[in-house]
Structure 1
């Protein structure tokens, strides 16, 4: 498992340097995707669909299903391919998800009732970051348990909030609070292309 948080200096160095590829996964996944591509895809998927749960990831098999008719979609749509059924489509999907680093570099996987998630969101609001963070309220989704499992596998973190900069999981509230108290959180945000305007 890759650990990004050791100490502020090492953390920033690992954030700015290339990361190793994820270990091999089931055969249906495009194996050219690395861990960051998978995290970006999970972000793209969870942020592209409405919170009304038009679609969700089925817990039993990780296929994409429609909320009102789980049997409607039979294709093997997954958190990694998302319907990319050819090499060309897969490459196009990677390009789309990598664009998130520019358009939405800061993402917080949150839970609406979690006090630590609230503290994280309050801090980001106080810092007046730009672009604004993408907040994904996992508990409002039908596939919350599946998303949590994928986050744990990809980031090593099973709790909320989970703050991500350009596909890298930076940590939960305790990690971010420590960074902020040391004056390193703003440095980390700026190194990820995020302006702090407070």
Structure 2
């Protein structure tokens, strides 16, 4: 049997352990109930919540980026597939819904009139006769016409034997003083006269003579000039169209066509 001394020590130790446990429990209870402990716990929980929220946001952004990347890739794959489905084995595009694709042979296509073969740009008035059809004489006539138009603001394209040409020259050269003086081209005496007349027909729409050009624009033939003269409108016409290029235009000897004399005018050629 244990001795009484040992039993007393054991009982004393037990009491000490109980006291210590009660003290620690009481101390822990007071600590948990204190403001400092409460604030510390709240701060720790708040940090944990913030960290968890950031992680969720990062995961959400990553998933959205991944989804966008996959969608873009799928769209590109679909476009690529449609392209290869519309291209034949020779690398030319097929016709879709009746529309002609770019891969068709150029020989099977015909441009509309007045449209060049390159770049879809409008052709000039000689498009139908360009390159192989345009003769050397026609090209020289175009160059000569450009040179003639620089001679004077007014050009009279005439033929020496034509009575209508004589009528126009008689009015413009003898009844009016025009400075610079009109430049006369006798097409029947010019080596390129035939081709010049063709070119004038294409550029002005007038194929007959005389053809009076003012600042590069046709104002008519013999009858048109006579009509302007009779109605006293020739001076205004020349001034308006000639602008600053016409230094002077007036009736010779200061005479003008009045209403009484207009009815009596009869030009003899």
**TM-score scaled by length of structure 2:** 0.40
- More relative contact order, 1 or 2 (CA 8 Å, 6+ apart): 1
| Equivalent in 175, 185, 188 of residue 139 of structure 1 | 188
The residue aligned with 2:197 is 148
Q: Distance in 2 between matches of 1:63 and 1:24?
A: 13
Task: Give runs of aligned pairs for residues 41-60 of structure 1, distance below 5 A.
Answer: none
In structure 2, do the counterparts of structure 1 residues 22 and 182 end up closer, same or farther at CA, with 3 Å as the change threshold? Answer: farther
The residue aligned with 2:210 is 161
When you count helix as a share of all residues, which structure comes out higher? 2
Match status 1:63 vs 2:63: no
| Equivalent in 104, 114, 126 of residue 152 of structure 2 | 104
1:155-176 Cα distance to aligned partner (Å, 9 max, x none): 1111111000010011001111
1:58-92 Cα distance to aligned partner (Å, 9 max, x none): xx84314xxxxxxxxxxx95444x49xxxxxxxxx
**Structure 2, unaligned stretches of length 5 or more?**
1-122, 253-269
| Equivalent in 218, 232, 235 of residue 186 of structure 1 | 235
Task: Please list every run of at least 4 consecutive aligned residues from structure 1 whose deviation after the TM superposition is greater than 3 angstroms.
Answer: 21-24, 76-80
In structure 2, do the counterparts of structure 1 residues 115 and 24 end up closer, same or farther at CA, with 3 Å as the change threshold? Answer: closer
Work out which of the two has the higher radius of gyration on C-alpha atoms and give 1 or 2: 2
In structure 2, do the counterparts of structure 1 residues 177 and 122 end up closer, same or farther at CA, with 3 Å as the change threshold? Answer: same
In structure 2, do the counterparts of structure 1 residues 62 and 116 end up closer, same or farther at CA, with 3 Å as the change threshold? Answer: same
Q: Distance in 1 between matches of 2:183 and 2:148?
A: 14
Cα RMSD (Å): 2.9
The total of aligned residue pairs comes to: 121
**Structure 1, unaligned stretches of length 5 or more?**
1-20, 29-59, 65-75, 84-93
**TM-score scaled by length of structure 1:** 0.52
Secondary structure in 2 matching 1:120: helix
